[in-house]
Structure 1
Amino acid sequence: MEKSVEERISKSLIWLCVLAFFSVLNETVFNVSLPDIAAQFGIEPSVANYINTSFILSFAVGTAVYGKISDIYGIKKLFFISVLIYGGGSLIGLLFHFWFPALLAARFIQGAGASAVPGLIMVIVTRSIEKQHQGKAFGMIGSTVALGEGFGPVLGGWIADYIHWSYLFFLPMMTLVTLPFFLRTLPDEPVKKGGLDVPGCLLFVLGIASFTLFTTHYEWWYLIISVILFIGFVLRIRGAKEPFLEPALFKRKRFIVGVLVGGILLGTVAGFMSMIPYMMREVHQMSTSLIGGSVLFPGTIGVIFFGIVGGSLVDRRGARFVMIAGLLLLGAGLLIVSLFADSTPWIISGALVLIFGGLSFVKTVISTIVAGSLSADESGSGMGFLNFSCFLAEGLGIAIVGGLLTQLRLNFPILPMVTDVAAYLYSNLTLLLLAAVIIGGAIFLIAFREGKASLDK
């Protein structure tokens, strides 16, 4: 019987990858279309950016909530509901694209549905696939996620230029075709006794929302409210009978280090990737379509190879080996960009292949070691918290890089081989991001300095 269930889960992996691709694609696909939306409605760019902010808010909240309630209500039912919500939000956006408030509502609903996908996929792998094969599964899914993130601006720019930006809402509706396959392949799970810690959930959700608003608007009172809510959340989970997040998770080194290092590294790369379009346009005078199709796309294609290889290496050589390889790829790519920021764009494109490859390795390792630190009953809330932490870190990385680009505090010569004045800022900022990668890698290696055995068992 167990073998039959595992075979059914394995057959559904391809559909999990399809779903993961379209869920993360929707995070970035609207980026290049925001100027077109602002022009159509006659609004300021800051207002148009709410198209992405509304999605990010509900997505960040949902990643934490879905993982927890999967422990109670089961994965199959939640997958069915979340895909319907995702498709419904997309349909609203497609039909009412001429009314800006409807666009905001549609993006918020999309985020509420799409946020279930990353967390529930990790829960499926954690619960249903043997530990010796989890690295390969996480590698496949991680490759798909990274490909979706990188392919979003390319596809979004093409559709906006040659058709119309409103048709971007049609893409997520393709996820509805996965429903029959999940209903047939995913096993039924009994509803467990117990309930959702509603006060704890509300404190956590509102804390996330306030913190996300702070990273978007830089209003300090958002941060103060967020801190107060998180203090209340900590007090709540320490006293609740069935807390929203088990306090025991924060006593495990593997879990804490995995979440911390994952946040540092993924946030750093996300910030770097948000810088690339500005650098290529200002330093190399490249168009948006050329940046997406020629500079970013080769790296996103390489992600497929690196993700599969990384997953297999985790299973064969161990997580420590793959993490070191990923750190070396990330470091080499960032160093090349910093040294040759004003050289030919194709050097930058080659460096991005290394960076995307290192990102695939890192994601696979982080998912594997965190999953290995969780029991079956903790997999939902634990993996949900990992997804939330990494997603929030990516948002913070983008916000921090955007602030540094605006303030111009790093706009001075450091490296003698960078001679173009326009490239100073980008070269120096990349050096700063390289330092963040070194710090994240050092935390990981120090925490697991005992060697491979202590990390993988």
Structure 2
Amino acid sequence: MGTVLLQTSHSTDMKSIKKSVFWIYYVIFFAVLNESIFNVATPTIAKQFALNTAGVSWVVTIFFIIFGLGTVIYGKLADIYSIKTLITIGIVMYSIGSLAGFVLHSWFLAVIVARAIQGAGGSALPALVFIIVARFFTQQERGKMFGIITSTVSFAIGIGPVLGGYIAGSWNWMYLFLMPLPILISIPFFRRFLPDEPRRPGKLDVRGALWLAVAVSSLILFTIESQWIYAVVTGIALVLFILRILRVKEPFVAPALFKNTRYRNALVIGFLIFGTVMSAMFVTPLMLSKIYQLDTQEIGLVMFPGAFSAVIFGRVAGQMTVKRGSHFVVYLGLLLLAGSLILVSGSIGGWVWFIAVYLVTLYVGFSFVQTALTESVTEVLDKDQIGVGMGLYNMVSIVAGAIVTALVAKVMTQKIFVFRMNPFLSDTYAFPYGNLILMLSIVVMVSALLYFLSFGKRISQTEDEAV
């Protein structure tokens, strides 16, 4: 009798949890949107506060730093506390930061603090959403949901600069702070549909989290500022972090996680792929402006089809992951990514809509890789490692966007690639863009090789079941 009641209770909980699926997609859109929506407004903000490029970059940088670190912290907390409580706290904090930034937009220090609060609250959403999917849904359900989540993320990344440029240009950049506020309406639904989880044993290793935060922050600052003091601080903080997790009973990140070779390599692959795509998204508007003389609205028009395609093909990627396995979908995505970058590299200066078509292929490939790679990561983690493991994976991907984009900006500024590498290019102004994009395609190929060495000799569980 007790077993029957337990099964009935579990069935009821699952039906309730599945009602939260729409709100999972809803909140992830607004969380990721804020990663890119402020980028196009930085020139206007710099002009208002009389700031140089380094000064105004903190509007974006502080958000990336806090957002990236927050994904790991919330992931660790989710191993101890109820997801329902954590996601409520995150949404409320995200909204407080948004309102504070809007009200205090005339004070630059307050703008930076507001962006930090946004990052602290917003980071709860991707961290906890991935954990909800990994913890409460079956493998087949996960594949489909990761596909839709990836398409939502890709669309938000792509539409962010377009939407940000329109709002900042038509009204005022301060209204960008209000964009996340619709997320508040999701709170009662999460409170209703997510289960009441008991507090589990464990505690947060604050000192370990602090050393990781210092290491990551200093690394990002080093790539942006090029001051060696940040590199030294990164090294010291990293050593202290490693010593900490090896010595304490309940470390912030269990050392066993890094002993998992396939998980460790998945972190590297995630860093390379996300950094590559974010770099391409950073370089493409510059290239369209410089080579094709397009204005902001025209650039948005060229890039929008790619962002929109992610909505469609992310779902396709999820379905393919279920039917063919993550192994097949990752390879297909990497092929599309590398192919699109190679084609773009040799087409700069030609018909502009060729670029738009290749961007569609780029977004589709990214959707495929992210969907299937995320599923691959969940497959190599033990159940008690899902929280911090997925949090760390998300942090690495997010931080990659900040680090690699900063490196690409320096490469473009220092004119390192001003020579002919691609034989299909003849315009000297196109050389830096074409060469850089070609190098990004090589990074994708390296990622494909690493994936093969890590996962290629093992078929996924889905494929195994199909056999």
TM range (shorter): over 0.9
Please tell me whether residue 26 in structure 1 is matched to residue 46 in structure 2.
no
User: In the alignment, which residue of structure 2 is the partner of 1:212?
Assistant: 220
> 2:151 touches 2:313 (CA, 8 Å); kept in 1?
yes
> One-letter code of the match for 1:366?
L
Offset, 1:3: 2.3
User: Contact 2:61/2:402 (CA < 8 Å) preserved in 1?
Assistant: no
Does structure 1 retain, via aligned residues, the 8 Å contact 2:224–2:407? no
1:356-390 deviations in Å (ceiling 9; x for gaps): 01000111111101111222221111000101111
1:305 aligns with 2:316: no
Find the partner of 2:53 among 34, 41, 45. 45
Contact 2:64/2:398, CA 8 A, preserved across alignment: no
d(CA) in 1 for partners of 2:201, 2:461: 35
| 2:348 is aligned with 1:341 | yes
The residue identity in structure 2 corresponding to 1:324 is: Y
In the other structure, the counterpart of 2:363 is 356
Cα drift, residue 97 of structure 1? 1.0
Q: Compute the displacement of 1:19 (Å).
A: 0.7
- Determine the C-alpha separation between the residues in 1 that align with 2:422 and 2:180: 44
CA RMSD of aligned residues (A): 1.4
CA contact (8 A) 1:86 1:111 kept: yes
Displacement of 1:453:
4.6
Stretches of structure 1 lacking an aligned partner (at least 5 in a row): none
> Aligned letter for 2:190?
F
Aligned residues: 456
- Tell me how far 1:454 sits from its aligned partner: 7.3
Which residue identity lines up with residue 390 of structure 1 in the other structure? S
Deviations 1:193-228 (A, max 9, x none): 221112211111221221222122121111111111
- Say which SS state the counterpart of residue 97 (structure 1) adopts: coil
Match of 1:269 among 266, 273, 277: 277
Contact 1:271/1:400 (8 A) holds in 2: no
What is the alpha-carbon distance in structure 2 between the residues aligned to residue 74 and residue 216 of structure 1?
A: 37
1:452 alignment partner, SS class: coil
Pick aligned residue for 1:378 from 379, 385, 392 = 385
**Deviations, residues 375-429 of structure 1 (Å, cap 9, x unaligned):** 2221111000101111112222211211111111111122332111110111111
Matches within 5 A, 1:28-177: 28-177=36-185
TM-score, with normalisation over the residues of structure 1? 0.97
1:232 aligns to what?
Answer: 240
Q: Answer with 46-55 or 120-129: which moved more.
A: 46-55
Contact 1:261 1:444 in 2 (8 A): yes
Q: Among 424, 434, 439, which residue is 2:441 paired with?
A: 434
| Alignment correspondent of 2:194 | 186
- Counterpart secondary structure, 1:73: coil
Please give the alpha-carbon distance, in whole angstroms, between the structure 2 residues aligned to 1:231 and 1:46.
28
Separation in structure 1 between the aligned mates of residue 14 and residue 373 of structure 2, nearest angstrom: 23
Summarize deviations over 1:26-75 as a string: whole Å, max 9, x none. Answer: 11111111111112222223212111112112112211111111111121
Q: Does structure 2 conserve the Cα–Cα contact (< 8 Å) formed by 1:118 and 1:387?
A: yes
Q: What amino acid maps onto 2:195 in structure 1?
A: P
Query: In the alignment, is the contact (CA less than 8 A) between 2:41 and 2:164 conserved in 1?
Result: yes
Partner residue, 1:221:
229
Q: Supply the distance in 1 between the matched residues of 2:234 and 2:460 (Cα, whole angstroms).
A: 39
Structure 1 distance, partners of 2:128, 2:106, is 34
Shift of 1:91: 0.3
TM-score, with normalisation over the residues of structure 2?
A: 0.95
Q: Secondary structure at the match of 1:110?
A: helix
DSSP 3-state at the match of 2:80: helix
Report if aligned partners of 1:342, 1:420 keep a CA contact under 8 Å in 2: yes
Q: Which runs of 4+ in 1 moved over 3 A?
A: 453-457
Counterpart CA distance in 2 for 1:381 and 1:305 is: 30
Distance 1:237 1:67 in 2: 16
Q: Which runs of 5+ in 2 are unaligned?
A: 1-8
What is the SS of the residue equivalent to 2:250? coil
Partner residue in 1 for 2:6 = none
Residue 17 of structure 1 and its aligned partner are, at CA, apart by: 1.0
The answer on whether the counterparts of 1:325 and 1:361 sit within 8 Å (CA) in structure 2 is yes
Equivalent AA in structure 2 for residue 16 of structure 1:
I
Comparing 6-15 with 324-333, greater Cα deviation is found at 6-15
- CA distance in structure 1 between the partners assigned to 2:404 and 2:11 by the alignment: 42
1:413 aligns with 2:420: yes
